[in-house]
Structure 1
Amino acid sequence: MLTIEPIGGLCNRLRAIDSAVALGHEIGLPVHVLWQINERVGSSFSDLFQMPEEIYRLTEFTSGFLKLRQIKICRALDVRRPRSYCLQKDVKELLDLGFDFCQFNHRNRLHFKTFNRFFRPYGIKRLFRPIPAIQQAIDNRCADFENCVGVHIRRTDHRPSIKYSPTSMFVDRMKKELRDTDCNMFFVATDDESEEELLKRTFGDRIITHSKRSRSRNNLQAIEDAVTDLFCLSRTSRIIGSAFSSFTQMAAEIEGIPMEYAAGELPDASEFGWHDKPNLAGVTKRRDSLSVSTDP
């Protein structure tokens, strides 16, 4: 069994699961996903996506369940065996060393707790299919798209995006799109309402958005809206996005569309724990009720 415990925000989790499914497929291990409902993602996986056939088991749990769960996992895996249980720091160290995770093929029990992509993509679009209600919201919003460019502005607690992708650069890139290309509208996704309002004042009715019911990540409606934004961005012609944002990267990857950061020269991505690059080659990347299992 290959157990993946994805951490961080929504897209960090999706790319970690994507890696785990690809690795499990490569080395012949079924994949068990441990999905924590917490302040970073306040919803279950099954509230957002249909259950992928590639996932053998899905366990959803809240913070109060975490400590006991981790103790049981560590005992079951016998953490004295090196690298059977890889925390984020272990995954980062292995990535820094250029480790080939296929070398774990002699283990029959693995556990990764990470936000990193640690193996080649399996296929985001193939793996993560929104539930029907969210898919309908996506289709309704995208019906208005005509020569539409996606814009993703990440703010709140994401310091690298705030530092390296200032609003002025978005405005400049958007004006260039209108001047030099066939773009006539922008789909804007942002976690900052003031940014959305500024762009509406600047570009008027060329700005379209998905109306937000909440922007708090520990709220189910906010995460549903985030999934809608993510897939709407993926259906634009190209994306102007935020530096070091996994949301920007994943939106482009879903449909394999071009993307660029609204940024100047950027530092080494590994400074921020990044080791994966956008997969824009158009690669193609089960839902049942909540299940809480006691065996890892």
Structure 2
Amino acid sequence: MSKKVKISVVPFGGLGNRMRVLNSAFYLSKDINAETTLVWLKKAELNADFFRIFEHASFDFKLLRGFRYKVFLKFVKHIYINQYPKLYRFILGIFFDKILFDSDVQSLSSETLIEQISSSKSVLIATCYEFYPFSGFDNFKLNKELEAKITSFQIPEGSIGVHIRRTDHVDIIKESSLDNYHVEMRKCIAENQNVKFYLATDDAVVKAEFLNIYKSRIITQDAPLNRDSEAGIFGGIVDIYNLARCYKIICNVKSSFAVTAKLIGKEKELINV
């Protein structure tokens, strides 16, 4: 009997990016009967351990620890991989006979990906992109502390999520003016005078402005807006899952934050501004 393919996956970026990479790896591994090892790098963009966020992800996997983890943490950086892919392929090729980065997974069909990985023994996938289809994110089970934080918010039926990203994505800032959000929110108010909005934003000034304008219509949380602390990470997760409780979300769809929320729980519409 041939041995199982061993897939090591390094999900880069924030929580939404990492969840889509993980589910790509999980569903792929299930379909080809591979073993999955998760290399969860605790970095400034997501400064929390996997099991501080989730109880489980409904798939079997090993979590890389010890010396090998420390090596990955120190030397495997997304920005450098994109700048020096040949160097990283050469070094990592000592340990893996198949290596896939962003450009690889974006160019391969699912069928070609399966064909290439199935003929390998040890595979490394290091990316921030989805690379294999999956049904959603309901397989992720949050830890009880986070679930309690989320359910403490009273979000009425028919509430609308608003995600405003303002500090770290140049394209979104250029494309989606605050006026665009106001236009869509006023449309919602015209349709339903009792509508509530769950506001998630990374900008304290924006939060204060929208609270001043929409007052009691706004539901939001008081949490650190940066993501380089565990408290900030938990605040972001609460925002994602509370947006997911809304029946539609006003956002820029280039942000994985709102797209992640869309794939949690019931079907919902994204209104792209």
Normalised-by-shorter TM-score class? 0.7 to 0.9
Aligned match for 2:55, one of 33, 50, 58: 50
SS of the equivalent of 2:250 reads strand
Aligned match for 1:253, one of 237, 248, 263: 263
1:193 has 2:204 as partner: yes
Q: 1:39 offset after TM fit, Å?
A: 1.4
1:85-132 deviation line (CA, Å, top 9, x unaligned): 11223223336xx86422222323221000110110153111x21110
> Structure 1 residues 140 and 180 mapped into 2: Cα distance closer, same or farther (>3 Å)?
same
Letter of the 1:227 partner, please give it.
I
Q: 1:179 offset after TM fit, Å?
A: 0.7
TM-score using structure 2 length: 0.85
Q: 1:53 offset after TM fit, Å?
A: 4.0
Asked whether the 8 Å contact 1:146–1:185 carries over to 2, the reply is: no
Asked whether the 8 Å contact 1:29–1:108 carries over to 2, the reply is: no
What's 1:123 paired with?
A: 136
Q: 1:34 offset after TM fit, Å?
A: 0.4
Q: 1:73 offset after TM fit, Å?
A: 5.0
Aligned match for 1:133, one of 138, 145, 159: 145
What's 2:23 paired with?
A: 18
What's 1:180 paired with?
A: 191
What's 2:81 paired with?
A: none
Q: 1:4 offset after TM fit, Å?
A: 0.9
What's 1:91 paired with?
A: 105
Q: 1:181 offset after TM fit, Å?
A: 4.2
What's 1:204 paired with?
A: 215
Q: 1:64 offset after TM fit, Å?
A: 7.7
Q: 1:182 offset after TM fit, Å?
A: 6.9
What's 1:67 paired with?
A: 75
> Structure 1 residues 183 and 148 mapped into 2: Cα distance closer, same or farther (>3 Å)?
farther
Question: What is the alpha-carbon distance in structure 2 between the residues aligned to residue 203 and residue 13 of structure 1?
Answer: 33
Asked whether the 8 Å contact 1:4–1:20 carries over to 2, the reply is: yes
What's 1:31 paired with?
A: 36
Aligned match for 1:41, one of 46, 55, 60: 46
What's 1:286 paired with?
A: none
Asked whether the 8 Å contact 2:24–2:130 carries over to 1, the reply is: yes
Asked whether the 8 Å contact 1:41–1:223 carries over to 2, the reply is: yes
Letter of the 1:160 partner, please give it.
D
Asked whether the 8 Å contact 2:41–2:73 carries over to 1, the reply is: no
SS of the equivalent of 1:91 reads helix
> Structure 1 residues 149 and 63 mapped into 2: Cα distance closer, same or farther (>3 Å)?
farther
Aligned match for 1:230, one of 233, 237, 240: 240
Structure 2 unaligned spans of 5+: 1-5, 78-87
Structure 1 unaligned spans of 5+: 79-83, 264-296
TM-score using structure 1 length: 0.78
1:225-270 deviation line (CA, Å, top 9, x unaligned): 111111111011111112300011010111243232442xxxxxxx
Question: What is the alpha-carbon distance in structure 2 between the residues aligned to residue 249 and residue 64 of structure 1?
Answer: 28
1:101 has 2:113 as partner: yes
> Structure 1 residues 256 and 233 mapped into 2: Cα distance closer, same or farther (>3 Å)?
same
What's 1:154 paired with?
A: 165
Asked whether the 8 Å contact 1:24–1:31 carries over to 2, the reply is: yes
Letter of the 1:189 partner, please give it.
A
Q: How many residues align?
A: 253
Aligned-residue sequence identity (percent) comes to: 24
Higher relative contact order (CA 8 A, sep 6+): 1
Q: 1:210 offset after TM fit, Å?
A: 1.8
Q: Which moved more, 1:55-64 or 1:105-114?
A: 55-64
SS of the equivalent of 1:125 reads coil
Question: What is the alpha-carbon distance in structure 2 between the residues aligned to residue 203 and residue 167 of structure 1?
Answer: 14
